[in-house]
């Protein structure tokens, strides 16, 4: 394959992936605790018609930086400040999230809006779904009506880059992930907003669309040149 054609197609693929990342970031502007995916270019060796060559690829890297804390006054909304995640029990195993919007189910379980029970380090009994006396300390100790009911499980990983992003701001850790002590503190009556700027993402999408169009025109020009060269003489 012509090197110019290969480079143009690679550029188109990179811009397409970058647009997908920005679109997903924009779609989660209202998801508490959501962490944006940033576009990263990587070099790798590729086998071409000219032998082994250096090529560039576009991958996504999750930015786990702190999002703004928004005070809501709702006692069942919890925000994390610092490094760490809440753990939730999904049907397919434990998942992690920075979102702390919770509700009390009829059976006394403290669950996410998706219905996933939050994980506890220790627990001494269910919550009363009809009681409004509910408090959570910075270290995750939960009390209701003057009784300590246990401590929420906070998790952090030695290498967060191994986390796999799921839908709705959840992440799954690999089985061999090394856990470390979370240093995050909990703010009750608040939510952590996404670390995403809508304006920045729109600007990025426009820039990547322009890059895609330029690369696409290059492909068309190179393709037209090949057609002229291979056209039989009249």
- 113-123 tens-digit pLDDT: 999 999 999 88
Determine the Cα–Cα distance for residues 198 and 27; give it in Å rounded to an integer. Answer: 10
Residue 13: band (very low, low, confident or very high) from pLDDT cuts 50, 70, 90? confident
Which residue matches tokens 């930086």? Answer: 65
Q: What percent of the chain has pLDDT over 70?
A: 85
DSSP result, 143-205: EETTEEEEEE-EEEES-GGGPEE-GGGEEE--TTPPEE----EEEETEEEPPS--HHHHHHHH
Joined tokens for residue 2: 């012509």
Q: What residue spans define the domains of the chain?
A: 3-64+196-230, 69-192
- To the nearest whole number, what is the mean pLDDT of the chain? 87
Report the pLDDT value the prediction gives residue 10, as an integer from 0 to 100. Answer: 76
Q: Is the pLDDT of residue 212 over 60?
A: yes
**Stretch among 13-17, 38-42, 130-134 having the lowest mean pLDDT:** 38-42
User: Residue 51: is its pLDDT beyond 80?
Assistant: no
Residue pLDDT, tens place only, 124-165: 888 999 888 999 999 999 999 989 999 999 999 999 999 999
Confidence of residue 88 (pLDDT cuts 50, 70, 90): very high
What DSSP character marks residue 65? P
DSSP H stretches of helix in the chain: 3-27, 198-230
What confidence tier does 56 reach under pLDDT thresholds 50, 70, 90?
Answer: low
Q: Which residue has the tokens 């995050």?
A: 184
Cβ neighbour number for residue 228 with a 10 Å cutoff: 7
């Amino acid at each position: 394959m012509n090197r110019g054609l290969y480079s143009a197609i690679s550029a188109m693929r990179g811009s397409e992936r970058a647009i997908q990342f920005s679109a997903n970031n924009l779609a989660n502007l209202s998801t508490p605790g959501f962490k944006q995916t940033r576009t990263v270019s990587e070099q790798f060796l590729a086998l071409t018609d000219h032998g082994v060559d250096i090529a560039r690829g576009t991958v996504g890297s999750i930015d786990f930086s702190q999002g703004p804390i928004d005070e809501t006054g709702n006692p069942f909304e919890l925000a994390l400040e610092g490094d760490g995640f809440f753990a939730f029990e999904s049907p397919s195993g434990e998942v992690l999230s920075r979102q702390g919007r919770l509700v009390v189910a009829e059976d006394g379980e403290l669950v996410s809006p998706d219905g996933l029970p939050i994980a506890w380090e220790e627990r001494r009994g269910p919550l009363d779904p009809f009681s409004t006396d509910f408090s959570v300390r910075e270290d995750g100790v939960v009390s209701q009506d003057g009784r300590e009911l246990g401590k929420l499980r906070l998790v952090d990983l030695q290498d967060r880059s191994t986390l796999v992003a799921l839908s709705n701001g959840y992440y799954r850790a690999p089985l061999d992930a090394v856990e470390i002590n979370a240093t995050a503190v909990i703010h009750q009556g608040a939510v952590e907003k996404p670390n995403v700027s809508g304006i920045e993402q729109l600007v990025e999408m426009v820039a990547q669309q322009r890059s895609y169009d330029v690369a696409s025109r290059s492909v068309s020009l190179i393709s037209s040149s090949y057609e002229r060269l291979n056209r039989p003489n009249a």
